Amino acid sequence: MIKLTKKLSQTSVLAAASVIMLGACADDSTSDSSSGASESSGEAQEFDFSHMFPSNHVMETEVVQEFKALTEDATNSEVQIISYPGAQLAEPDAQYETAATGVADIGFSVHSYTPGQFPLTSVMELPFMSETGVEGSQILWDLYEEFPELQKEYEDTVPLWTATSEPGQIFTVDKQVKSVEDLEGMRIRSPSPEVNRWLEEMGATPVSMSMNETYEALERGVVDGTVGPFHTLLDYSLHEVIDYVTVGNFYMTTFFAVMNQNSWDSISEENQSAMEEINGEHMSQVVGETMDKRAEEAIQAAEEAGAEFYELSAEDNEKWSEYLQPAIDAWIEDKEEKGLPGQDIYDRAVELSSE
């Protein structure tokens, strides 16, 4: 919750969460923060930043801390950010709701942890959308700015940024995947319905589980492989248990950071303007750059651990594209049937990618 001049303890924040879960009105939870001033009062405000990433994860050390430093510098420390990493305040799939209801002021997580909640944002989880986190993050933010229908997915919060990881690849144990046929019958951990669809098209069996569970599942043979961005090899120690990497830029993980509306309204117009220079495109690029840098480190770690890499050739891509296209078509059809501009969003994303 927003706090003026003093910080509530974590216990108090969690207690507030319990009250809301029992049915208390969300507006009441932020009633003290709804009377923002048009001019800066000079009084420090503290805002809780809740997220799922561990305290030693680059999302905390390089993204959240960068946002904190830039915000406090731009507002002369009148807006102060207090980070709660490691899902201290909410589970990974509850971060958006945590911010929307005012349990915390800001929530930061992964879109696919709440399937169906961000239908148009999930366009970046389709195959071959981008080659880097920087590019993918720019595409997603441009789509957000251009399409009101996409903006509506965040209408009960104030979006601070959207972003993507570097592209996702296929990591396997024992068996190398070079062709579509190699995936036949393999059990592959999947992060989302979009990825499930194209894995099934190729004859694989998608297994839904969190990345936190994946190391053990690979080690024990529960799954034969997983899809994931390169950085997960290092951040989740997967380089210790996988043998092969198939590079094909198959999808992207997408991220959001959103702020409670009342918390935002409590900030002076002067400080809001200063923060708007940081939020949005700038922070989207910070995330993309962080992911790309971490990907390079993860590739090196996997190579040193003995993993064998195979990159799809142009000829390979043609065949994979034939199998992946039905998943793209199904995504577009699903959105159009729901009255959403699936075709327009997809076409624009492809256009932005080619620029």
Mean pLDDT of the chain: 89
| Chain segment 266-312, per-residue pLDDT in tens | 999 999 999 999 999 999 999 999 999 999 999 999 999 999 999 99
For 121-135, what is each residue's pLDDT tens digit? 999 999 999 999 999
Q: Tell me, rounded to whole angstroms, the distance of Cα 79 from its chain centroid.
A: 24
57: containing domain: 3-33+43-114+159-165+255-295
Estimate the crossing angle of helix 65-74 against helix 269-276, to 10 degrees.
130
- What pLDDT sits at residue 38? 54
Beta strands 244-259 and 205-208: pairing type? unpaired
Do 176 and 187 share a domain, yes or no? yes
- Residue 284's Cβ-count burial label (10 Å; 0-12, 13-18, 19+) is buried
pLDDT at 2 over 90: no
One-character DSSP codes across 83-117: EE-TTSSS-GGGHHHHHHHTSSSEEEEEGGGSTTS
DSSP line for 175-223: S---SGGGGTT-EEEESSHHHHHHHHHTT-EEEE--HHHHHHHHHHTS-
Residue 340 to residue 355: CA distance in whole angstroms: 25
CATH number at residue 246: 3.40.190.170
Mean pLDDT of 220-238: 95
What pLDDT does residue 209 have?
86
Average pLDDT of the residues in 24-30: 41
**Domain count of the fold of the chain:** 2
Count Cβ atoms below 10 Å from residue 151 Cβ, excluding itself.
14
Tell me the average pLDDT across 335-340. 98
Together in a domain, 191 and 222: yes
The two beta strands, 45-51 and 3-4, are antiparallel
| CB burial of residue 26 (10 Å; 0-12, 13-18, 19+) | middle
Could you tell me if residue 335 is inside a domain? no
At residue 41 the predicted structure's pLDDT band, cuts being 50, 70 and 90, is low
**In a domain? residue 138:** no
Rounded to an integer, what distance in angstroms lies between the CA atom of residue 169 and that of residue 90?
29
The reply to whether 109 and 187 lie within a common domain is no
